[in-house]
Amino acid sequence: MCNLPPKFHSVCRLCLSFCGDNCSDVKLPIFDRDKDKSRLSEMIMAYLSIMVSPEDMLPQVVCGSCASKLDEFHTFRELSHKSERLLEQFLHYANSLSGPIEVCKHNIDKKKV
């Protein structure tokens, strides 16, 4: 096994920022199952396509800033999926009232002429 600097495991796994013991920024364990941030490993994989494992010998913490960004990605993803569902529902509803959307678009184009 190689000789790693003592601070190696204290850097943020995502941005490499270091936060010592007397730093105001928090270090969140990636695999902490007892806290609200227990989904960090899943979010890292889903949003960044980075595989993390408790056995990979790399730092097992992320800084508060990176955790916040992951939460923002998650919120944006959820909003985008909800918007997509609502748009599809609206389109389905509009089609049920007036026929396929192509017919509606064709009628709009005729009115412009």
- Give residue 57's domain range: 27-96
Tell whether 44 is covered by a domain.
Answer: yes
On whether 2 is known to bind a ligand per the annotation, the reply is no
How many domains in the chain? 1
Question: Is 20 a domain residue?
Answer: no
From the list 11, 20, 12, 7, the residue with the least C-alpha distance to 66 is 12
Q: Is 15 annotated as a binding residue?
A: yes
Count of alpha carbons within 13 Å of 101, Cβ hemisphere only?
Answer: 7
Q: Is-contact 43 73, C-beta < 8 A?
A: yes
In degrees, rounded to 5, the angle at the alpha carbon of residue 37 between the alpha carbons of residues 54 and 16 is 60
- Asked if the structure places residue 49 within a domain, the reply is yes
Question: pLDDT tens-digit profile of 91-110?
Answer: 999 888 886 656 455 555 66
63 is in an annotated binding site: yes
User: For residue 92, is it within any domain?
Assistant: yes
Mean pLDDT across the chain, nearest whole number?
Answer: 83
Tell me the pLDDT tens digit for each residue of 31-50: 876 655 458 999 999 999 99
Least confident among 5-9, 17-21, 40-44: 17-21
Domain at 90, CATH number: 3.40.1800.20
Position 19 scores a pLDDT of: 67
On whether 66 is known to bind a ligand per the annotation, the reply is yes
**Assigned domain for 34 exists:** yes
